[in-house]
Structure 1
Amino acid sequence: MKRGIIGIVILIAALIFVAGCAASNKGGNQQTEKVKLYLYGAGTLAKPFKEVIGEFEKKYPNVTIESQFGGSVKMVKQVTELHQPGDIIAVADYNVIPKYMFGENGQTKYTDWYIGFVNNSITFVYTDKSKYANEINSTNWYKILSEKGVQIGRSNPNTDPSGYQTLQMLKLAEKYYKDPTIYEKILANAPEKNIRDTETELLSSLEAGQIDYLAIYKSDALQHHLKYLDLPAQINLSDPKYANFYKEAVVDTKNGELSGKPIIYAITIPNNSKNTEWAIKFVEFLLGPDGQSIMKKNGFGVLEKPYANNVDKVPAELKNFVSEWPKQ
């Protein structure tokens, strides 16, 4: 009889142990299952995002993030037109997301929200090899860049936000300095041969002295320890308080007319993501103190509280990180 009771006790203990292990495994699956996320980002996000990805993968060793960086419009179209797998999309101009992903004008709807997580400004960088490097400053820059023989690099305004933001900045400079020739004269020194899909592709040409100046984001200037022009906030597209002035700068591109807006980088998760839960965790990490610290270290402006459009559509896990997008 005693042996029977002991046997029953051992059996019950074994069942409890097995059940406990099963429950433990169920709770741990999230940390042990292998996950691959696909991220597409603006070219200027390559350096900081590689750091963010590295820290995220350390925190979650079961996750691997495959990333690709380039012109923001081109990166979005990897998902919307080429139908590549995509879990996270981050662009240098928040307007790119609603334009190509919100499903307007009969397009397929890929998302209905985005979060602005850092800001930036447009500038020109140069080196000691650049023509007039010892003379140029934030007051005379537009005169120097108009000089005959100066070679200027820029990105493609049809594929990359910094390309059309550079054009918008030059339009604003004409108004700010009351000189209607700035746009035409400077672009005469930035011909087609000096254009690439993303401006970071021209950094080696700048270092080699093949071009003298490069239109680029301030964050890149700081990351690459380059000399740069500290342009007025009224024209460098950095400050939301000048939004009404910025929108007066309208430029033509193959994607239609584009008016100037504050440079705010935005991120979203396509609704056809196969790993939405983990994509949300990545955005959480990016918006959290560790992610924002990396962005700040790399020269980006950190927002007091990231902006979100359609807050009610933002995943519940991210809502505490965001505030309503400022009205303009």
Structure 2
Amino acid sequence: MYTPQTKFRAYIAFLISTLSIAGMATGCGAPQETKAAASTTMNVTHGETPLSVLYAGSMTHVMENDIRPAVNTTLHINLQGEGAGSAELAHMITGKVADPDVFISASPSVDTNDLMGNANGNAIRWYLTLASDQLVIAYSPHSRFRSKFQEAAQNKLPWYQVLATPGLRLGRTDPNLDPKGADTIVMMKLAEKLYHQPNLEQTLLGNDENPKQVYPEEDLIAQLTSGQMDAVIAYKHEAIEWHVPYISLPSAINLGDPADAQAYAKVAWQPKHGKPIIGAPILFTITIPNRAPHPAAAATFVRYMIHGQGHTMLMRDGFTATKIEVGGDEAAVPQSLLSTIQGKLS
């Protein structure tokens, strides 16, 4: 179960490991260089550039298994990363617990609401769209409700009726810490309208932080594959990389179709703190924070992720290509990345 105590212990562990790394660097660099961006122990060999990347927890598999070794070989970059809920990572940046070279979010709203502006210490000034995705219902092939899931996947049974089955265990992420968790609530609100089911969100999710359902982003797959969960609300790329079956949702509610952007925007969810989350197509973004210790290497990595082999790996992992658009101050984007921009987010 994902409780406040769990989050606190995770935060303390992160802080301790961060300070340990900083301590090793004391006395041999500027104060900024002593700040770590991730809880991973640095192991940089001669000739490699260290690069700290904080990324959406749903990207952990592709980042650790594909992109990390590839950038080491092709770019001679030693990528040190940490995956968690995007909003949670943003708070670590603004709280100066972490100073990453690159930040990858699962939603532009995290960039604009949690990192930009005076209230957030102007932690970032711009971001680029990286890839798009959609929500699906991933289910365990070993679940005792497997036959019902299969019927729903074949449109023989409404998916929401299956999720309402007594005893079925559904998992999702914390909407206050992770965009996917917030998108899950938005999706349910859209489903209420589409299916004319006014109490659907409450019936299927309970309260926003229902402790029986909410788990850290990086733990969801373990909950599903271990049999502790029958189904989880996931991004499509996660179901593909996990090799688990899933139920596709209509484009009117899956937040995956830019053509439905206006319809998505008709619903919103208010988190505990900050601005309301307005329904919008799911977009992953990438940026270089203002305090990045290695900005030149960071720009090289961002280009690799947008147009290079990194982008190819994302597509192979199940992400969907999207137009590369800039959010925020385009004049602040590194010169080497300007040619990649195909438009500006409104």
Do the two structures share a fold, i.e. TM-score over 0.5?
A: yes
Q: Distance in 1 between matches of 2:53 and 2:89?
A: 9
The Cα shift of 1:34 comes to 4.5
The Cα shift of 1:101 comes to 1.6
Work out which of the residue numbers 96, 109, 122 in structure 1 matches 2:110.
96
Number of the residue aligned with 2:177: 159
> What 5-or-longer segments of structure 1 have no aligned partner?
1-31
Percent identity for Structure 1 against Structure 2: 26
Number of the residue aligned with 1:265: 284
Deviations 1:4-54 (A, max 9, x none): xxxxxxxxxxxxxxxxxxxxxxxxxxxx75421111000011122232232
Q: Distance in 2 between matches of 1:317 and 1:53?
A: 22
The Cα shift of 1:183 comes to 0.9
Deviations 1:101-155 (A, max 9, x none): 2124x33112211001100111111123324321231541011111222111111
| Secondary structure of the corresponding residue to residue 80 of structure 2 | strand
- Indicate whether 1:111 and 2:124 are aligned: yes
Number of the residue aligned with 1:46: 60
Give the number of the structure whose alpha-carbon radius of gyration is greater: 1
> Normalising to structure 2: TM-score of the pair?
0.80
Number of the residue aligned with 1:209: 227
Number of the residue aligned with 2:336: 317
The Cα shift of 1:213 comes to 1.0
**Mapping for residues 41-80 of structure 1, pairs under 5 Å:** 41-50=55-64, 51-61=66-76, 63-80=77-94
Q: Distance in 1 between matches of 2:231 and 2:47?
A: 48
| Count of residue pairs brought into register by the alignment | 292
Work out which of the residue numbers 302, 316, 322 in structure 2 matches 1:297.
316
Q: Distance in 2 between matches of 1:157 and 1:194?
A: 11
Q: Distance in 2 between matches of 1:188 and 1:33?
A: 53
The Cα shift of 1:79 comes to 1.7
Q: Distance in 2 between matches of 1:215 and 1:96?
A: 20
Q: Distance in 1 between matches of 2:142 and 2:58?
A: 24
Counterpart of 2:74 in structure 1: which amino acid? K
| Secondary structure of the corresponding residue to residue 285 of structure 1 | helix
The Cα shift of 1:197 comes to 2.4
Q: Distance in 2 between matches of 1:272 and 1:210?
A: 40
Mapped contact 1:153–1:214 kept (Cα < 8 A): yes
Counterpart of 1:271 in structure 2: which amino acid? N
| RMSD (CA atoms) | 1.8
> Normalising to structure 1: TM-score of the pair?
0.84
Q: Distance in 1 between matches of 2:306 and 2:181?
A: 27
Mapped contact 1:311–1:324 kept (Cα < 8 A): no
Instruction: Label 1:94 to 1:325 Cα distance change in 2 as closer, same or farther (>3 A).
Output: same
